[in-house]
Chains A and B, each alone.
Chain A
Amino acid sequence: MRKVTSYLVTFLLANILTVAAIAQNVTINGNVRNSNTKEGSGAVSVILKGGETGTFTDDKGNFRITVKSLPVTLLISSIGYELQEVTVSSASSLVQVEFKPNTALGQEVVVAANRVPQRIMESPVSIERISAANIRNSPVSNYYDVVTTLKGVDITTSSLTFKTPTTRGFNSSGNTRFNQLVDGMDNQAPGLNFSVASIIGLSELDVDNIELLSGASSALYGPGGMNGTLLMTSKNPFKYQGLSFLVKEGLMHVGAYRQREPGLYSNWNMRWGKKLSEKFAFKINAELIQAKDWLGRDDRNYSRSGTTGSVVAGDRKTDPNYDGLNVYGDETTVDMRAFFSQIAAGLPGAANFIAANGLLTTPQNVSRTGYTEKELINPNTVNFKLAGSVHYKITPNTEAILAAYWGTGNTIYTGSDRYSLKDFKMGQYKLEINNKNWSVRGYTTQENAGESYNLTATTRLFNESWKKSVTTDAAGNPTPQPTDWYIQYTYNYLSNRMNGMTAYDAHQAARTIADVGRPAASSGAFRAGYDAIRKKPISQNGGLLQDASDLYAVDANYNLTHITKSFADVLIGANYKKYVLNSGGTLFADSTGSIGLKQYGAYIQASRQLMDRINLTLSGRYDKADNFKGRFTPRITALVKLSKDNNVRLSFQTAYRFPSNQQQFINLQVGSTRLIGSSPGFATLFGFPGNPLYTFTVNPGSTTLYDFKTLTPAEVKPESVNSFELGYKGLLMENKLLIDVYGYYGQYKDFLGRKNTIQTITGNAADTSNASKRRNISVVVNSADKVKTYGFGLGVDYRLPLNFIVSANLSSDVLKDVPTNFVAFFNAPKYKTNMSIGNAGFGPGKKLGFSVAWRWQQGFFYQGDFANGNLPDVHNLDAQISLKIPKANKSVIKLGATNLLNQYYYNAIGNSQIGGLYYVSFGYNIY
């Protein structure tokens, strides 16, 4: 073993320390410019033909390269341009290269599909790519939104800056089945187990490209990527240099349906990349977004039952038990029959009245008066990102990177409740060494939830602070007092009814009396009281989440192809992760100390060309996590070349995920239900199975309302999916038409979900029927049923004359064989489509650009822990028109709009509703 290690070290050092010993004594100065616009072309690769010497043009298109002697041939290349060979015979004058844009489709190179660069046309699995050029010509206000235009992508919008993409179903505001990697780092917030959109990560001007792997992708990227993996890569300062900035100023909240008074949208970006020498470069970038956020204003009435429920008729006036979706504090509900019974027992007249009016026969639930989201949350959303890196080329082929990404912001997130992520902070810090053949990366993610709080819990507690619902003694037994909200309500309601009022009027009048003393949301008393509770940890009867969880990770990859190329291209890699969960008992069961969780895994991939037409790739990955047995995930892909640029792809992929950190360790009261994790420690904490948990079904028409059955939670297993895919990608009609089509079939096993149970406080089984002696506990379970999904995607891009491109895609995702009453949270429209037309350069001097993009998704029944309900169809139209100013160093003025027609939509029940955003931007040195 020691011998092997020493060989390996020697080998690595040889790679790192090999210094080019070629004498270089002729320096060529040149410039590359766009043949159409005459702008200098930045980030263009200039390499010496037949050698490894190379450089990139700076932001003005200038380059300098030193060669041994003249003449030489330089290869000038960049995606989107035609490869040019330039022979240089003299170094005495500037080499001017007219760089011709390439109008051919499908020329992009992707890395994510096989972890090695390859043409997108030859990817063996479905993959989508967004380039910096795509972002530049997109009408979206935030680059991350471009992802929504990709084929097969579903998006859940929690707020302006918090959007969660996924593919092939199962989307939600926080998606734990979708990986997001930023410059190779897992971008998830460790305490949440999902990425907080682009709040933490790259800023717009630093995005080099985004690649999306649709569907299962655990075999290469580890557990979690059951439904896809999004990889974002930033611009390397050796390649992208210069100072750039982009200022967008926009207007939101306009039109009659607006949620707030019109407000400004500001998005300021800055990037500065500098190559100080051939060995050393750095970059720094920042982005600030400020706006008045979109608003969750769904005030429809919601009937809750544990973590399930449905939208029902009624409003605050017509339903005394009204529970508005985006109204908080009204989740507190009490059945007045308990009070009516006591009154009836002592007063025959009142007893007759109560009986005659049916006040004891049906539930008489009344909810407390809530506050709307608009009243509660500071409307100002801020997202500030700051990132920087230093790059050092140890050898021409070995680069060390020390990078830091830090972000903070306010946003809204929908989990089992709505959460205000206030002053949320997350930093990612990495040290990475990349060689042509290998890479080693170590990084950490440091999360701080700041003053994030649970809106529902905080508002309910606030209501209790200004007037108790029902006083209880130290043991929790009700000891009603005349000053209690429900006592005042019940007494006055009954009295009002006795005074001849209708139930409707009596409820209004009773609420008015019970609400005497209720602080108005605009008052100082409200703000002081509310802030005091939201700043108090949940564990201390407040609403504050104290999540300061961290992630530490190391990974390494080695491409052995240069050794193994005689029989196959081989790639190996391994990684190690450690989560340190630290919520101070406000989210996890970690009140006595942080929780450490380890995961590690390794993979190998081998690919081989067969008969010139078939490329076969086999991958396999083994992962092990604390508390769970190791898992092996294979992947087999084949690419069949029908003809040049016409390929059929087949794949079988496996993916799985361990239960998320929250599913393992959460200990959180949500409404009347406590969510607990799957960790065995919870059995000790809650005393089961000694004090059993009971599942229950409603017994309509029976004297016993519920039918209880004992449940002993089984050991929770990771869930997994097997996915088969068949696809075709090809260029037709003289390379003017690009078609990409796929179909897939997936089968999910051991699906992770939750089950509502009841446990008695006393341990006495008979008390299951006594609401005051039982509690609701939601436990994590694997579904015994297999859930199947299938779907397809079809995308076409057609290049019209004059540089116009029309694109359209249609995709479908379907869930099949869903058992009755099984809540799968599939959350995908059966059909969705994107259509766009654009031109990155037309008109005089090809300075004009425009794009129009329309997105439609079919309505569907949305299922979430927060709320369920029917989502209507979504139609959205984005558009932009831009003008380049070549003389001002690639400056661009853009006039754009997202949701141009200002048709408010929402894509998850209870989430913010999105309206039109109209902006004008000015970008300097944008390339």
Chain B
Amino acid sequence: MKTINKLKAYYLVILAGLFLITSCNKDLEQFAAIPKPVYPTGSGIAATLAANANYTMYTALITRAGMTNLLNDSTRSFTVFATDNTGMKIFVSAASGGAIPPTGAPDATYLGFISGTLPVTSAVPIVQYNTVGTKFPAANIGTAFPNYPLTSLIQLDPVNQPFVRMPIFPVRGTVSYVNNLPLIATDMAAANGIIHTAFSIAAPPAATLRTMIAAEPTLAYFRAAILRADSGAVVKPNNDSTNFLNYLLGYGVTNMTVLVPNDAAFQTLIFGLVYSQVLAATGSIPIAIAQANAAVALGPGIFSNPVFYGSITAATVKGIIAYHFLATQPSPTSTTGVVPNIRVFSNNIPSTPLFFVKTLVNGGFAGHQGVMAQATYAGPVATSVNFSSYGTFPPGGAPFSYTANSVTLDKHAVNGVYHIINKVLLPQ
């Protein structure tokens, strides 16, 4: 019995030992986990603006757009180009068609317009356009010409290509800008982003260059010239991509700058060309004047009149029109890759002379110097811009001595910006 008891104790010790050892079994080897994002706490952008008395109207605009929760979402990061109440009043005045003055009315009037009169369908794209889905502090606003496109929340093709966005264009010049609007304050911090304050609302464009130019009463010659440049002998429909320039003006996801001579500019050029040719042929000034007036009287139809196909060739017109599309070029000697992919607002042009911008002409003449541009500023705002061409009229003048002045600046379209000028620029 004693032996058995000893054995029992012996076995129990063994079993206990086994149990203890087996209890040490381990789970799968694990690694330090890839950290999930830690979301910030504190006031979001909408809440930060709402807490600031200078932004009650932009806050109302956000509310009207139904984007308060989005802009307070701590899981996301934004940069908002907001507008303070002063700027918002200017916006309200314009949006009301002048019915509400830009200053002087009670704040409730402006707030009432924003919250009640302004269509939601207008409020949403405005806030979306002025919102960028990343943190972009003022220090990151670069000085490179012409600007640094950022992708706003406006989607141009939300179903098929949701990443195609309406860009917004900050840049640093003498001051910082968004598009052509000076930023009057920067880097207001919110938990989920950054707020910069623009002088006024940067309104999102709603139409393409082609649509907007088509609606301009003083640009009929330009429209006709575009068609002539594209068509050769046959006018092609708008949606034909071989109809290059016209198609380009209507293509929504391009990013262009077009210098658009007005009708008077074309008439002046046509008058001068006909006059000089007839005078050279006849030696008679009256005849030259008469024929020049007759040509001008034909209006824009001169470009589609087969009688003039021989003297106004499609290639000539294409060369001239291409010179009005600003572009970038990978290198001065590159003959390919010249693309109209810059959106040059007036404030992107320096006030200093000898500033040259490439054009589509560089696609055929790689070494062409392009267009010389110079802006005149009043404070941070460019009040006018001069564009000088290599060629002159009459021919033979010094390069870049032939200068067009801006008539209207910063006409903003979905796919670019155009500036109306008073002369037709000549590439050679």
> A residues bordering B, Cβ < 8 Å?
298, 300, 311-315, 317-319, 343, 346-350, 352-353, 356-357, 482, 491-492, 494-495, 497-505, 800-802, 804, 835, 837, 852, 854, 856, 869-870, 872-877, 901, 903-905
Contact = CB atoms under 8 A, between A and B. Distances in A.
B267 interface: no
B184 interface: no
Sort A-B residue pairs by CB-CB distance and give the 10 closest, nearest first: A500-B76, A349-B167, A495-B162, A500-B133, A903-B25, A318-B34, A349-B149, A313-B31, A494-B163, A349-B151
Interface stretch (B10-18, B104-112, B210-218, B379-387): B10-18
Contact of B15 (A312, A347, A352, A852): A852
B181 to A, nearest CB: 18
B236 interface: no
Given A300-B31, A505-B76, A837-B11, 9 more contacts: A312-B31, A348-B255, A349-B149, A352-B149, A491-B163, A495-B155, A802-B4, A872-B26, A873-B24
Contacts of B163: 343, 347, 350, 491, 494-495, 498
B150 interface: yes
B18 A300 contact: no
A349 B253 CA distance: 10
Nearest to A877: B22
19 contacts: A300-B31, A318-B34, A318-B36, A350-B165, A353-B151, A492-B162, A494-B162, A498-B133, A498-B163, A499-B133, A501-B133, A800-B7, A801-B3, A835-B18, A837-B11, A875-B24, A876-B22, A877-B18, A905-B25
Nearest to A318: B34
Nearest to B26: A872
A856 B25 contact: no
B22 A901 contact: yes
Specify which of A346, A348, A870 lies most central, judged by the most chain B CB atoms within 10 Å of its CB.
A348
A872 B29 contact: yes
Contacts of A311: 29, 31
A81 B9 CA distance: 30
B134 interface: yes
Contacts of A495: 155, 162-163
A870 B26 CA distance: 12
B14 A837 contact: yes
Contact of A856 (B19, B21, B78, B153): B21
B253 A347 contact: yes
B36 to A, nearest CB: 6
Contacts of B193: 500
A281 to B, nearest CB: 43
Nearest to B164: A347
B253 A346 contact: yes
Interface of B: 3-4, 7, 11, 14-15, 18-19, 21-26, 28-37, 73, 75-78, 133-134, 148-151, 153, 155, 160-165, 167, 192-193, 253, 255, 341-342
Contacts of B162: 491-492, 494-495
Contacts of A491: 161-163
B37 A505 contact: yes
Contacts of B37: 502-505
Given A498-B133, A852-B18, A313 B161 contact: no
A336 to B, nearest CB: 12
Contact of B36 (A317, A346, A801, A856): A317
A319 B133 contact: no
A903 B7 CA distance: 28
Contacts of A835: 18
Given A352-B148, A353-B150, A872-B29, A505 B75 contact: yes
Contacts of A877: 18-19, 22
Contacts of B153: 498-499
Given A852-B18, A877-B18, A314 B133 contact: no
Contacts of A357: 134
B164 A350 contact: yes
Nearest to A490: B163
Contacts of B29: 300, 311, 869-870, 872
Contact of B34 (A313, A801, A905): A313
A359 B104 CA distance: 49
A173 B134 CA distance: 50
Contacts of A874: 25
Specify which of A318, A869, A876 lies most central, judged by the most chain B CB atoms within 10 Å of its CB.
A318
Contacts of B161: 491
B75 A349 contact: no
Contacts of A492: 162
A505 B7 CA distance: 64
A135 to B, nearest CB: 22
Specify which of B133, B155, B341 lies most central, judged by the most chain A CB atoms within 10 Å of its CB.
B133
Specify which of B7, B26, B162, B255 lies most central, judged by the most chain A CB atoms within 10 Å of its CB.
B162
A801 B7 contact: yes
Nearest to B14: A837
B284 to A, nearest CB: 54
Contacts of A318: 33-36
Nearest to B4: A802
A298 B30 CA distance: 11
A501 B151 CA distance: 13
Contacts of B4: 802
A504 B160 CA distance: 23
Contact of A350 (B23, B148, B151): B151
Nearest to A870: B29
B25 A353 contact: no
A348 B7 contact: no
A505 B14 CA distance: 54
B189 to A, nearest CB: 16
A359 B77 CA distance: 17
A500 B73 contact: yes
Nearest to A903: B25
B149 A348 contact: yes
Contact of A875 (B22, B164, B192): B22
Contact of A314 (B19, B23, B34): B34
Contacts of B7: 800-802, 804
B34 A854 contact: no
A516 to B, nearest CB: 13
Contacts of B11: 837
A315 B19 CA distance: 34
A875 B14 contact: no
B149 A500 contact: no
A751 to B, nearest CB: 28
A492 B162 CA distance: 7
Contact of A313 (B26, B32, B167, B341): B32
Specify which of B33, B34, B36, B163 lies most central, judged by the most chain A CB atoms within 10 Å of its CB.
B163
A329 to B, nearest CB: 21
B22 A903 contact: yes
A500 B21 contact: no
A904 B26 CA distance: 8
B64 to A, nearest CB: 20
Nearest to B253: A347
A499 B11 CA distance: 68
Contacts of A801: 3, 7
A623 to B, nearest CB: 42
A875 B151 contact: no
A115 B88 CA distance: 101
